Structure 1
Amino acid sequence: MIEKLLPHGVVAVETFEDAPAQQSFPEEESLVANAVETRRREFMTARRCARDALAKLGYAPVPIRAGPRREPLWPAGVVGSITHTTGFRAAAVAHNSVLASIGIDTERSDRLPDGVEESITVAGESEMLAALSRALPALHWGRLLFSAKESVYKAWYPLTGRWLGFEDARLTIDPMGTFAAKLLVDGTRTDGGPPLVELRGRFIVAHGLVATAVTVPVDATAA
C-alpha cells in the first residue's frame, strides 16, 4: 500500500500483523521499556520493517535508535520514515542521493474525535474539508488532513531540526489522491538546501486505513 505513494528509488516494507518473535537490539528495547505489550510489539514490528527495507538497500541489521523527538535515526547516507497504527506497520527508506527526506503516516480511516479537527485546521481548511465531505461523504477528510500533516512534519523535521505544529502548514487536498502543504513558518534547512516553502504528497485509502506520504527531492523545495 505505502509503496504506491512513493517514487522510484524508495524501498518500502509493510505488514498488517506482528510476528511472534522480533529481532531487536537493547538500544531499541530501552525505548519501549515501560510500554504495554501491544505497544511494544507494534514498535518492534515497525523497526523490523525498517531493517528489512534497509537490507534491500544493502545495509546490515543495525539498531534504529530515536532522536530527541523520537524520530528514527538512520544509518549515514539514508533517509526514511516509520509509521505504525492499529493493524498496520510500515517503513520507507532511500539513499540521500535519491531524496532529501521522506515522511509517511497511516491512521485508521474513521472520524476524528470531537474537537480535534478544530485544533488542527488553519484558515481555509475547514471550508475545504466541508466541501470535500459534501462531494465524497464516505471518506473522513478530517482524518486525512491529520495524517497528511503528520507526514509533512516527518519530512520537515530531519531537514530543519525544528518543531512544526498543525497550525504551521495550510493544506490543499485534491480528492484524486494528492495534497500540497504551504508552510507558514520559516523553512530554512540545517543542511544548507533550499528553504522549504511547500511540500507535496500523496494519499490512499484502503484496508480501513488512510495512508499519506511526503517526499522532498534533493534539489527542490517541494515534492
Structure 2
Amino acid sequence: MDTGERGPTMIEVPPGTVTLSDRRTRRSWAVDVAAHLLAAHPVTREQYAHVTGAPGPGDGTGRLPVESVSWWDAVRYCNALSEREGLTPAYRVDAGGDLVHRDASADGYRLPTEAEWEHACRAGTSGPRYGPLDDIAWHRGNSGERLHEVGGRLPNPWGLYDMLGNVWEWCWDVYDAEVYGAYRVLRGGGWFDEHWSCRASVRRRSHPTFRVDDVGFRVARTAH
C-alpha cells in the first residue's frame, strides 16, 4: 500500500448496483455503478503536500489522512494530480472559481460519486458494515479521539482501507439541492463519531468551502 510520492494505489472496483436512500424524503432508489478505480486509502498529508506544494504534515506523520480540506480543495487536488501524471483533468472550474464542471470522458483523477463510494464500501456485503467495527475502523470508541495513519485497520473484501472511520470523505454529489443548495455529500464516518455513524449507508452534508479536522477525501478514476 503506497502512501508516498509515487501516487495513489488504485483498486479496480467491479460494476454493480447499489440502493441509496434519503431520510428527508423517505425515498430509496437503485443506481447502476460502472466499473471504476478507487484509491486504496484516503489521501495522506504526504501525498497532499507533494502534489499541491502545501505545507508539510503537522503533528504526527505524513501517513495520516489529510484533513481540514474543503470539497473545493479536493477538486483542485484531483486536477493537480492528473496534470502531474499526464492525465486529462476531470474538472473544469469557471473563471469566477465558483462553478465546476466534470468531464465524464476524462481519464484523470476525480472524487467518487456517492453511489460509487457506497458500492465500493460495501464490497459485495449486505450489512451495515463490511466487518466488525473495531477491526475495520477508527471511531470514538477506539481512536483515542485522534486521527490514525491510513491502513491501520483491516481492509474490506476488495482491498479498500478506512472506508469507515478515521475521516469522513467528500463525494462529488450535491446532497439535496432543494433544501441545502450547494452542500455536498460526505460519507464514511470519522475518528470522533459514535458507532452508529460509521455505516455504509450513513450520509452527512456540508458546504463545499467547509473545513474541519475529521473530513478528508480519496480519489477515483473512470475505467477506460
Place the TM-score, normalised by the shorter chain, in its bin.
under 0.3
More strand by share: 1
Bigger radius of gyration, 1 or 2? 1
Q: TM-score, normalised by structure 2?
A: 0.27
Q: TM-score, normalised by structure 1?
A: 0.27
Higher RCO (C-alpha 8 Å, min separation 6): 2
